[in-house]
Amino acid sequence: MSRPPTYTPLPTSELDADEESSLFADEDQLEDHYTTNTTNKSRTLRASSRSKKHLAFVLLSLAVVMTALVRGAQHLVRGFRMRGCHTGLGGSRNQSTKFANGGGLTTHFTLPSGDKIPSVALGVWRAEKNLVGTAVKAALNVGYRHIDGAWIYGNEHEVGNALKANGIARDKVWLTSKLWNTFHAPEDVEPTLDESLARLGVEYLDLYLIHWPVAFYKDGKKYDRELTANPYPTWQKLEEMVEKGKVRNIGVSNFNIPRLKNLTANPLKVKPAVNQVELNFWNPQPELLKWSKENGILLEAYSPLGSAEQVKKTLAVPEIKEIAAAQGMTPAQVIISWHVQRGSVVLPKSVHCDRVKENFQVAALPQDAFDKLEKAATSHAPQRVVNPSKSWGLDFDVFDD
């Protein structure tokens, strides 16, 4: 809103009192002059004041109207983007029945605990504030039964409110959260977990992950070298959360093979069930995928279409476009299906209802198409986007072997 302009009084006569008095023959004329002049000045000032007040009112009114128009346009755009969220999610790009029942792909992976984790989840990282809840409701209506979040995302309360509004039974939806770097000290693990549970409005998590293999001190400016080098004390506390029933499965995120070997070399009561990592066409990590399968750890793919900076480039890859055209799928569906077919859980993120539905529609690719895409993805140098080592001021690279 524009700030109303300030005003200064009109200037007085350029003549001072003595010069002005000499123009008149006597005091009566002088008094009459002052009376008349003062009255005229007063009228002029009042008229000018009224005019300026009117101008200020007009400007203020215009500012209010413009603000209302801008906000209305923003709501209209949001409403358009979220179209279909309350009307059966219309507007999907592909309505083919080929996607029914997972389209021939596995709909769940079995973890060491025996729990079955849905293969496609709604990710809420980088999701716009106040749109997360609508996206979660849309996802649940489409058929998603897996929501992947984290304490640091700052939107767990929105997810929790959406779950409550939907009314879905707790045991029908898989919920994942993550322990942030500043809470790796064993005494901080349970209070932080309790905070996530309270925000989500649930009594337990299906999966709880160590978000990064870096333990920060509370000030967030330095890292705990000992706890970073050996996360076993943190892991022991996570095992305790399993014993207490606050968590059903535990795992890690952004761990490479040496870090996984380092952790699993300890006498673990509960093995890491999952490792959530950046996994996409530009950073396919075939060695990590192979090693994880051999060691009973399920990979989860975040940024599965490429990070925000890469999505457009991903969807334009010739091999992906060719497979999409041949299979009657969108490029995004081809990529998401490829992830599941590789044997990883996939976490596409969107707050657009039509894309939420599109991303859930997966189907098995013919073997020759799958092999073609796998070859294309693994034939170029890997391009990792998510690496906060420098921005965190670390004296090492999180992903170095």
At position 217, the amino acid (one-letter code) is Y
CA distances to 27, 125, 126, 276, 376 from 150, rounded to whole Å, are 87, 8, 11, 12, 32
- Report how far residue 218's alpha carbon sits from residue 233's, in angstroms, rounded to the nearest whole number: 17
- Report how far residue 365's alpha carbon sits from residue 394's, in angstroms, rounded to the nearest whole number: 41
Pairing of the two strands 122-123 and 146-148? parallel
**377-330-279 Cα angle (round to 5):** 35
User: Count of H helices and E strands in the chain?
Assistant: 14, 10
Q: Which tokens is 195 given?
A: 């905070």
Catalytic residue selected from 144, 153, 204, 208: 153
Q: Kindly report the number of other CB atoms within 10 A of residue 23's CB atom.
A: 10
Whether the Cβ atoms of residue 320 and residue 93 lie closer than 8 Å to each other: no
- Report how far residue 258's alpha carbon sits from residue 77's, in angstroms, rounded to the nearest whole number: 47
Question: SS3 for 167?
Answer: coil
CB contact set of 225 (below 8 Å; sequence gap of 6+) = none
Concerning whether 153 is annotated as a catalytic residue, the answer is: yes
Q: Which residues are catalytic?
A: 153
